[in-house]
Amino acid sequence: MQIQVNTDRNIDGHEAFAEHVSSSVTHALSRFSAQLTRVEVHLSDENSNKKGGNDDLRCMIEARLAGRDPIAVSDHGANRQQALTGATDKLVRALDSTLGRLRDVPRRAELSSED
């Protein structure tokens, strides 16, 4: 699984931070690693330094499943870590749901053929 981290010009995306993000995402998605080909993380500060405010940092994560359309989620937080954690939690739930439905397709087909 390849992980790509992108930040806007308002977020300091130094190498140590990118490593932290990559490590967090790898850990959160470890059970899906066989099905994922690439994960892109985009962090942005929606209102930059011009305005204060809560939850202005946004984390959007796009996961690409082998042979499937990408799944994208986003979350806002007061700091980078909150936004990242919220987005990874949403992505885990979305992957669970998507992969669960894919596993159920043969079972549902079998049940409908019995009718």
High-pLDDT (> 70) share of the chain, %: 82
CA distance linking residue 1 with residue 39, whole number of Å: 7
pLDDT above 80 (res 8): yes
- pLDDT value at 81 more than 70: yes
Looking at residue 55, its pLDDT comes to 66
- CATH number of domain containing 110: 3.30.160.100
- The answer to whether the Cα torsion of 26, 29, 30, 32 is positive or negative is negative
Residue ranges making up the domain that contains 100: 2-114
Say how many domains are in the chain. Answer: 1
Distance CA 84, CA 94 (A): 15
In one letter, which amino acid is 85? T
Tokens of 53: 């405010």
Q: Where are the beta strands (DSSP E) in the chain?
A: 2-7, 36-45, 57-65, 71-77
Residue 106 has pLDDT above 90, yes or no: no
pLDDT at position 53 over 80: no
Contact 85, 109 (CB under 8 A): no
Question: CB of 81 within 8 A of CB of 63?
Answer: no
Residue 20 has what pLDDT?
A: 94
Span 27-31, average pLDDT: 95
State the pLDDT confidence band at 76, using cuts at 50, 70 and 90. very high
